[in-house]
Amino acid sequence: MNAIAITAGTLFTPAARIDDPLLLLEDSRIVEVTSRRDREIPSGFRQVDFGAGTLVPGYIDIHIHGGAGHDVMQPDSDALPAIQSILARHGVTGYLPTTITAPVDETLFALERLANTIDKCVHADGHPRSSDTPSLQAQPLGIHIEGPFLSHKRRGVHPPEFLQKPTVQLLDRMREAARGHIKLMTIAPEIEGALEVITQAVRLGICISLGHSDAQMDVARCALAAGARHATHTFNAMRPLNHRDPGILGFVLSESQLSADIIADGIHVDPEVVNIFFRSKGIDRAVLITDALSATGMPDGHYRLGSLDIEVYEGRCTSNGTLAGSVLTMDKAVRNAMHFARLDLQQALPSATRNPAGVVGLAQERGVLAPGATADIVVLNQHRQVIKTIVRGQGV
């Protein structure tokens, strides 16, 4: 057994702040969270001290297409390890590789490859295969399907020729290819067949997220009744809010049963609108995502998003003039949320930790620093920059 006692200046978990903390780990799990004022380091535990650093739960990104020059859908054995390494450097300990609309066979093939990676990363008992992760890497927690069940009008850069009518049969084919690893699916609820697919997906344990949609408010309400409980990159690729026609955006902002995510890069959404989003959704329903592309961590230039050519210039990603993902990292997203929405660290943290974990059904073991939770930890400096990432107890 690998027993480690981590000490630092401060510990933040979404529910509490502890000064002079003592965090006890055994292998990949947290066994105790306390203060050095109340507890001595137990015999047999090796101390690792991070001085004045701040301990927070590992960040979780539920919407990411790539990074470090690689796309999650590309058939390259080096792609996911490279993406996972850059994620870990920015504090992400768990993520959902996210597909983009593509030909059905290509999507199914990508889902099979992603499922292989997920299966290789984790033993049946839930512990990491250290031999398969020679460098510290974020762990895939499941798959996010973004497309092909999207609105033509609000498709963004998703290729229109590959969009599909929602059917339970195609959902079943995708789920079979992914071997049950689909955790999240973005769908436009107004498309014919969407409500039936939403009902079936929820029955199968998939979280349905409303997005890339031109739906009216009453249709969005029907989707909630069918089991939808999240919304994808709020404001982007959505019917705009009108004071006489609130539409899906009005529903997303006002419905307390619906969590929602946002790209807080200052490009996709104006900083003041990020503030409005946090005020509308509240600390417990707001989720930060990056929607990051292969260009993340790379210089300006031309990159790929699925089959699309993406131009990146001064942090702005476009395809034929349309915004196409971002080069945002999650640590930057947290700092931006603090600045844009005038939040302190404890208020901002749930949107990158506990809340995304809850979206994908992992709230009891991810996104918190608590006894029994997975030992996913980030150490921040006084400027809220990442100085150390610990994934399932590894990397200490």
61 is annotated as an active-site residue:
no
217-226 vs 194-203: helix crossing angle, rounded to 10: 30
Which residue of the set 61, 261, 291, 376 is catalytic? 291
Indicate the burial class of 109 (C-beta count within 10 angstroms; 0-12, 13-18, 19 or more).
Answer: middle
Residue 184 pairs in a beta bridge with: 144, 207
Residue 262 pairs in a beta bridge with: 288
Cα 123 to Cα 128, 129, 130, 396, distances in angstroms:
6, 7, 10, 21
DSSP assignments along 64-93, one per residue: E-EETTEETTS--TTHHHHHHHHHHHTTEE
Q: E strand or H helix at 110, and its extent?
A: helix 104-121
Q: E strand or H helix at 187, and its extent?
A: strand 182-187
Contact 50, 379 (CB under 8 A): yes
DSSP assignments along 271-295, one per residue: HHHHHHHHHHH-TTTEEEE--B-TT
Contact 36, 47 (CB under 8 A): no
Residue in 57, 53, 58, 59 with CA at minimum distance from that of residue 21: 53
Q: Which residue numbers are catalytic?
A: 291
